[in-house]
């Protein structure tokens, strides 16, 4: 229904004149872009770059926290949330952290020593 409106005769003449002069000079027309072919695009890898710390240093930084969440870990480590999430998942896969609660993707973790201490309480 909508779309491009018909140009007036004067504006059609001006655009045609500018295209004719561009063709005489050997330049591509203003409305058309010269296409450049490039090689096949590579897929981007979205890997997080954790801080250069060992697992023991990560645990030393995260142990004083009452509850380890993605947000508290990002503040303690001084990185953004996506990097902190990757660090937490990495430590969890190495069985250095354990998930103790949370819901809907908002997990709460604790260090393994904290898990055994809380499990011994009556």
In angstroms, the CA 85 to CA 107 distance is: 10
What pLDDT is recorded for position 65? 86
Higher pLDDT, residue 37 or 52: 52
Residue 81 resides in a domain: yes
Q: Is the pLDDT of residue 77 over 80?
A: yes
Q: Radius of gyration over alpha carbons of the chain, in Å?
A: 30
In angstroms, the CA 61 to CA 68 distance is: 11
Residue 23 resides in a domain: no
The pair of three-digit structure tokens given for residue 27, joined into one six-digit string: 């330049």
Domain hosting 64: range is: 56-120
Q: Name the region of 94 (left: φ>0; alpha: ψ -120 to 50; beta: rest).
A: alpha
Higher pLDDT, residue 8 or 114: 8
Residue 30 resides in a domain: no
Helices marked H in the chain = 9-25, 55-62, 70-77, 81-93, 112-120
Residue 101 resides in a domain: yes
Q: Is the pLDDT of residue 115 over 90?
A: no
């Amino acid at each position: 229904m909508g779309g491009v409106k018909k140009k007036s005769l004067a504006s059609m003449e001006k655009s045609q004149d500018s295209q004719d002069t561009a063709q005489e000079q050997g330049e591509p027309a203003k409305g058309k872009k010269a296409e450049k072919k490039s090689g096949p695009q590579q897929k981007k890898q979205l890997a997080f770059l954790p801080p250069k710390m060992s697992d023991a240093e990560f645990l030393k930084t995260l142990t004083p926290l009452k509850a380890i969440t993605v947000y508290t870990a990002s503040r303690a480590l001084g990185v953004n949330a996506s990097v902190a999430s990757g660090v937490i998942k990495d430590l969890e896969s190495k069985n250095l952290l354990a998930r103790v609660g949370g819901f809907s993707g908002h997990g709460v973790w604790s260090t393994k020593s904290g898990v055994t201490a809380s499990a011994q309480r009556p």
